[in-house]
């Protein structure tokens, strides 16, 4: 669940995570995550974002990085800078598009009034048509085995695809109730997601470790022991096995991070999307953050799938006389 303050507002800084190990620039990480929070409704129109200085201090990053991210969001029409009023959420979608939508509705409304349709009936018709259009909107989900990775990659994919991607945690949702046109996951979970989720297209993407992570681990002397700790033992085991197949033999899966668990361990590999773990381990053992990046070929493939699904939906809508 999102962190909220006593007024029920999402605490932006508590729901943002940045990784210096990622090949994705930090400002792009911020843009992807904030875009998702705005488009999903977590950050409602009118909400004031933290100042660039405050957010930069809380995330321990450069103020100019936050300013650049806010500027990017402004160009997309998602936020607006109002001087001393700060940076305010204006809603999802570019302003020109919203103005065009208003003009289209205004013209259609005038035509309906001229036909003698009462205002209340026009309002009901618009609400019904809008609900149908929302229903027809392409729904995309990303499934992972822990919330942090699900949210991080859903935000990244949303930025690349230009539409909201809903993060879901494996085993914590009902596939019957969760409607989706396209379900994305990693190859590690592909079989399980396909078995559980029927009626939607399930596509696997590659989330590969970036070169910097592999170089750091490969540089560890053979007489030192590397421990791997992840949110699930399956993930930790998969990473251990892949590194072992690469010729590294001094690796073991950790079942906890207590002093007894770390006995004889020189370095610990942790997921980069959980920076709080690094703080817990600082001064006790060396840490390597295992960062992942979305494979460029996977992004291109998913973009093509989304385009095909959109075209198919439009064709079905055009063929339905009641639509």
Structural domain spans, the chain: 12-89, 95-136, 140-208+295-319, 211-290
Average model confidence (pLDDT) across the chain: 79
The closest alpha carbon to 187, from 201, 166, 165, 204, belongs to 204
What pLDDT is attached to residue 127?
Answer: 66
Task: Note whether 72 and 78 are within 8 A (CB).
Answer: no
Q: What is the pLDDT of residue 212?
A: 67
CATH code linked to domain 140-208+295-319: 3.40.50.2300
Per-residue pLDDT band for 143 (boundaries 50, 70, 90) equals very high
Give dist(CA 98, CA 106) in Å, integer.
12
Q: Which pLDDT score, from 0 to 100, does residue 5 have?
A: 42
Task: Tell me yes or no: is domain 12-89 CATH 3.40.50.300.
Answer: no
Instruction: Indicate if the pLDDT at residue 124 is higher than 60.
Output: yes
CATH level 3 topology of 211-290: Rossmann fold (3.40.50)
Mean pLDDT (whole number) for 16-32: 76
User: 116-139: string of b/e by CB count within 10 Å (b at 16+)?
Assistant: eeeeeebeeeeeeeeeeeeeeebb
Is the separation of the CB atoms in 231 and 253 below 8 Å? no
Distances (CA, A) of 319 to 26, 131, 154, 315: 45, 19, 32, 6
Per-residue model confidence (pLDDT) at position 141: 92
What's the pLDDT tens digit per position in 225-260?
888 887 677 778 877 887 777 677 788 898 888 888
For residue 92 the two structure tokens come to 């999802």
Q: Which residues are paired to 252 by β-bridges? A: 227
Q: From CA 158, how far away is CA 173, in angstroms rounded?
A: 20
8 Å CB contact between 145 and 235: yes
Whether 211-290 and 140-208+295-319 are alike in CATH topology: the answer is: yes
Our CA dihedral for 126, 127, 133, 138, rounded to 10 degrees, sits at 150
What 3-state DSSP class applies to 57?
helix
Residue 202: pLDDT band with limits 50, 70, 90 = very high
Query: Which of 43-47, 149-153, 241-245 bottoms out in mean pLDDT, i.e. has the lowest?
Result: 241-245
**Alpha-carbon distances, residue 239 vs 55, 86, 124, 227, 266 (angstroms):** 33, 43, 54, 11, 18
**Euclidean distance between CA atoms 154 and 33, whole angstroms:** 8
Query: Would you say residue 217 has pLDDT above 80?
Result: no
Pairing of strands 87-89, 79-81: antiparallel
> Quick check: 69 pLDDT over 70?
yes
């Amino acid at each position: 669940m999102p962190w909220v303050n006593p007024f029920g507002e999402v605490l932006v800084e508590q729901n943002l995570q940045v990784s210096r190990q990622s090949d994705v620039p930090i400002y792009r990480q911020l843009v992807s995550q904030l875009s998702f929070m705005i488009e999903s409704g977590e950050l409602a129109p009118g909400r004031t974002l933290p100042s660039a200085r405050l957010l930069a201090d809380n995330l321990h990053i450069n103020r100019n990085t936050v300013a650049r991210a806010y500027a990017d969001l402004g160009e997309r029409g998602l936020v607006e800078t109002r001087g001393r009023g700060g940076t305010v959420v204006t809603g999802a979608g570019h302003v020109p598009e919203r103005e065009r939508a208003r003009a289209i509705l205004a013209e259609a409304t005038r035509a309906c009034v001229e036909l003698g349709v009462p205002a209340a009936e026009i309002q009901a018709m618009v609400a019904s048509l809008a609900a149908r259009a929302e229903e027809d909107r392409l729904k995309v989900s990303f499934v992972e085995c822990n919330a942090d990775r699900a949210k991080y990659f859903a935000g990244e994919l949303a930025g690349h695809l230009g539409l909201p991607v809903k993060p879901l945690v494996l085993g914590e949702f009902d596939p019957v109730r969760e409607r989706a046109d396209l379900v994305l996951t990693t190859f590690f979970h592909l079989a399980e997601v396909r078995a559980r989720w029927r009626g939607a297209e399930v596509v696997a993407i590659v989330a590969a470790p970036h070169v910097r992570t592999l170089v750091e681990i490969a540089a560890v002397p053979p007489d030192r022991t590397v421990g791997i700790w992840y949110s699930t033992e399956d993930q930790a085991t998969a990473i251990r096995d892949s590194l072992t197949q690469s010729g590294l033999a001094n690796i073991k899966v950790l079942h906890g991070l207590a002093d007894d668990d770390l006995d004889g361990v020189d370095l610990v590999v942790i997921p980069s999307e959980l920076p709080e773990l690094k703080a817990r381990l600082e001064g006790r053992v060396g840490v390597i953050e295992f960062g992942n990046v979305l494979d460029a070929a996977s992004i291109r493939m998913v973009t093509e799938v989304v385009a095909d699904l959109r075209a198919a939906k439009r064709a079905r809508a055009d063929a339905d006389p009641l639509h």
